[in-house]
Amino acid sequence: MRQFVKFFPLLAIVIISLAGTATIEAATGLNPPVKLVWHYYKVTNTCDDAETYIRYQVEKFYKNDSSIAPKLLRLLYSDCMVNGCDASVLLQGPNSERTAPQNRGLGGFVIIDKIKQVLESRCPGVVSCADILNLATRDAVHMAGAPSYPVFTGRRDGGRLNADAVDLPSPSISVDESLAYFKSKGLDVLDMTTLLGAHSMGKTHCSYIVDRLYNFKNTGKPDPTMNSTLVSQLRYLCPPRTQKGQTDPLVYLNPDSGSSNRFTSSYYSRVLSHNAVLRVDQELLNNDDSKEITQEFASGFEDFRKSFALAMSRMGSINVLTGTAGEIRRDCRVTNANYGA
């Protein structure tokens, strides 16, 4: 594990690099090194105001609906953690990546499509959907209270993936299984614990938590690690699933922030008091390192914000396409080969 006390110098390297046109290779905290560039579109003089256009559109959407912050966070996670940050999750079609069971309820597509239309009218064929998704997510979560972390750009868009290629894990896995998954993507326990903090806002379907409420590990009882008051509150919102075709209500991942969709450290306080909604979140207390980080973030919001900045940059660098790899889609919903078809 990267010891927490050693984390801040790594972040400082990232911040210092913002003064020039350094690449991610200059930031030792980002793994693996990839050839992304700070303000790529301005540096290459291909679309100087691309990031300004993106921010303006995100602001317009956010003023009308603050839920775009958790929606875009989930959309970016679902893209980057499956085959890398190549915007493949945005592609439409039967059996496409976005139709996978794990991606049920994904949102934010309309925002990305609108931004792409604006950029195509100003800088046609230049700004990738992958970069738009990363930049729009950063801007939306910043409006919700997260730091405006650096997003290095220059990604290109990948091709279509089938739904069965999606390997996103269940939210009911153990902390060991969760950590193994994050490590398989080149991320560590600090990244995992930090990125799960995105659950400080947003919603989840009742079907993901009914096992914790009624029949945890086939015991016929609720998860003993869940606060009894929370069990009662969630049982009221999530009845047992006994009929085929039964509705699947949504509940807040963090009732403390609720409909405000604010980015806060209350998520970690809830984990410590056994009030986490998802099992994967409550499981953070079952690993010494993730428990220590959880305690640190619960008592220090700025520590969480700084760690979030680096973790998002690290996730945003997973298996990116650069140079002549991939393509720059004209429409984020289809590959160029199918554009206009």
What end-to-end distance do the CA atoms of the chain give, in Å? 49
pLDDT of residue 341: 64
Per DSSP, 123 falls in state S
Q: Any idea which residues carry the catalytic annotation?
A: 74
CATH class in words for 37-168+319-324: mainly alpha
Q: Is CATH 1.10.510.10 what the domain over 175-314 is classified as, yes or no?
A: no
288 known ligand binder: no
Considering only residues 2 and 250, tell me which one the structure prediction assigns the higher pLDDT.
250
CA quadruple 120, 126, 130, 134: dihedral, nearest 10: -80
Nearest to 125 by CA among 52, 55, 47: 47
Closest CA to 277 of 327, 335, 205: 205
- Residue 79 labelled as part of a binding site: yes
pLDDT at res. 328: 97
* 97 in a known ligand binding site: yes
Alpha helix positions (H), the chain: 7-17, 40-43, 50-64, 68-80, 109-122, 129-143, 175-184, 189-195, 210-214, 228-237, 266-272, 279-282, 288-299, 301-315
**Does 183 have pLDDT greater than 50?**
yes
DSSP code per residue over 14-69: HHHHTTTT-BGGG-TTSSS----EETHHHHTTS-TTHHHHHHHHHHHHHHH-TTHH
289 is in an annotated binding site: no
Q: What is the pLDDT of residues 229-287, one digit of tens each?
A: 999 999 999 999 777 778 889 999 999 888 889 988 899 999 999 999 999 999 999 99
Has 283 been labeled as part of a binding site?
A: no
Residue-wise pLDDT tens digits, 119-129: 999 999 999 99
**What residues contact residue 185 under an 8 Å CB cut-off, 6+ apart?**
81, 315, 318
Establish whether 317 is an annotated binding residue: no
Task: Provide the residue ranges of all domains of the chain, joining segments of one domain with +.
Answer: 37-168+319-324, 175-314
Instruction: Please state the φ and ψ torsions of residue 59, each to the nearest 5 degrees.
Output: -60, -40
Q: Please state the pTM of the whole predicted model.
A: 0.89
